[in-house]
């Protein structure tokens, strides 16, 4: 067993960090033949808590866990890493939108973006900290020498939420659902697309039948799921968010089966008429070697195009709001 993947996780003492690190160390994300080194970045007041998490990681005696670095210096954390999972950022509270965090969390991603220049040449970055799309844009713009295509923001949790809603409505399991796409921003404007989704290979619209539900409650439930969890738990999603990150990594390091895709917010190349450069969630496939392609040619109704225009406009506005943080 000679493969070694170095993975940086920021916000390692946070609630998502706690749900994520053990699954990374177990080998779940990178497979049974790959050892995992963890580079854990935190702010100084949280380093003690990280030490406790590391004690627990060691106490699991994970056979695939290689070594662990703890640091408050992004240059140390990102040195030579193949993956950077950028989780560390403030979560929103009740009554806030994720975009309300933009001026507080955005600056974190300038410093970290710069330090990502120290990473390995095959670096892939997943931004989880909110507002994830625009934080990814900030990091990408500050990371000299790292291709912008390596910066992704997480919409996999939204995709998983959409799968669960469709499966429940159709009375099937999530295994019977496929080809769901989250378009746009990880925010309340995202467009969860059931028009292209399938259930047991048939159009989800035909199987479910309730088109009113598909165009109203389904969409708003997925768009507002994060807020519903905050209202119920008093804290934002953590285990499901960590699960989304694991699923994203797994989808990237394995070749996507023919006819399938997954959702990830990636730099727009103008596909589907979206403004170039914003980090926009699209249907994507992976070649399993760290490269993705945006799925082309999906049909979108005029109604869907209107929804997509709204989420695109929000991301353009967010880009304006952080213009001073972009190089």
**Dist CA 217 CA 236 (whole Å):** 21
> Among candidates 33, 36, 29, which has minimal Cα distance to 8?
36
Q: Is 252 exposed, middle or buried (0-12, 13-18, 19+ CB in 10 A)?
A: buried
- Binding status of residue 157 toward ligand LMR by CB under 6 A: yes
- Binding status of residue 13 toward ligand NAD by CB under 6 A: yes
3-state secondary structure at position 67: strand
Q: Give the nearest distance from C-beta 215 to ligand NAD in angstroms.
A: 23
Q: Which two tokens stand for residue 250?
A: 């797994």
CA atoms within 13 A on the CB side of 224: 12
Q: Give the nearest distance from C-beta 181 to ligand LMR in angstroms.
A: 17
Bridge partners, residue 123, by sequence: none
**Dist CA 23 CA 12 (whole Å):** 13
How many residues bind ligand LMR, per CB under 6 A?
11
Phi and psi, residue 182, nearest 5°: -100, 125
- Catalytic site includes residue 186: yes
Q: Which stretch binds ligand LMR (CB under 6 A): 31-39, 117-125, 233-241, 260-268?
A: 233-241
- Binding status of residue 264 toward ligand NAD by CB under 6 A: no
Residue with tokens 């993956």: 83
- Binding status of residue 91 toward ligand LMR by CB under 6 A: yes
CA atoms within 13 A on the CB side of 217: 8
104-143 positions binding ligand LMR, by CB under 6 A: 130
43-72 positions binding ligand NAD, by CB under 6 A: 43, 46
- Binding status of residue 91 toward ligand NAD by CB under 6 A: yes
Q: Give the nearest distance from C-beta 241 to ligand LMR in angstroms.
A: 6
Q: Give the nearest distance from C-beta 91 to ligand LMR in angstroms.
A: 6
Q: Interface residues with ligand NAD (CB under 6 A)?
A: 10-11, 13-17, 41-43, 46, 87-92, 108, 128-130, 132, 154, 157, 186, 236-238, 241, 244
* Site residues for ligand LMR per CB under 6 A: 91-92, 98, 130, 157, 226-227, 229, 236-237, 241
């Amino acid at each position: 067993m000679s493969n070694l993947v170095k993975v940086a996780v920021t916000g390692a003492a946070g609630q998502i960090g706690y749900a994520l690190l053990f699954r990374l160390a177990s080998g779940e994300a990178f497979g049974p033949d790959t050892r995992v080194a963890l580079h854990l970045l935190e702010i100084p007041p949280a380093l003690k808590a990280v030490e406790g998490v590391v004690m627990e990681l060691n106490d699991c005696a994970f056979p695939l866990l290689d070594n662990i670095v703890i640091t408050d210096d992004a240059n140390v954390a990102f040195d030579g890493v193949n993956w950077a999972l950028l989780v560390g950022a403030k979560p929103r509270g009740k009554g806030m939108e994720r975009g309300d965090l933009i001026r507080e969390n955005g600056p974190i991603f300038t410093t970290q973006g710069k330090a990502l220049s120290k990473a390995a040449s095959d670096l892939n970055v997943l931004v989880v900290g909110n507002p994830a799309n625009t934080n990814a844009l900030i990091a990408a713009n500050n990371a000299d020498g790292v291709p912008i295509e390596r910066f992704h923001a997480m919409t996999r949790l939204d995709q998983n939420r959409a799968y669960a809603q469709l499966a429940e409505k159709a009375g099937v399991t999530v295994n019977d659902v496929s080809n769901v796409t989250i378009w746009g921003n990880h925010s309340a404007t995202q467009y969860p697309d059931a028009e292209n989704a399938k259930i047991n290979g048939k159009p989800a619209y035909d199987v479910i039948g309730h088109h009113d539900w598909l165009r109203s409650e389904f969409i708003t439930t997925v768009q507002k799921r994060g807020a519903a969890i905050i209202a119920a738990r008093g804290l934002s999603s953590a285990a499901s968010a960590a699960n989304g990150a694991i699923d994203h990594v797994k989808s990237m390091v394995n070749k996507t089966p023919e006819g399938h895709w997954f959702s990830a917010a990636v730099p727009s190349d103008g596909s589907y008429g979206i403004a170039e450069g914003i980090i926009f969630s699209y249907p994507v496939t992976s070649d399993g070697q760290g490269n993705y392609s945006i799925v082309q040619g999906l049909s979108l109704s005029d109604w869907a195009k209107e929804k997509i225009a709204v989420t695109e406009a929000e991301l353009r506005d967010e880009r304006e709001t952080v213009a001073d943080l972009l190089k």
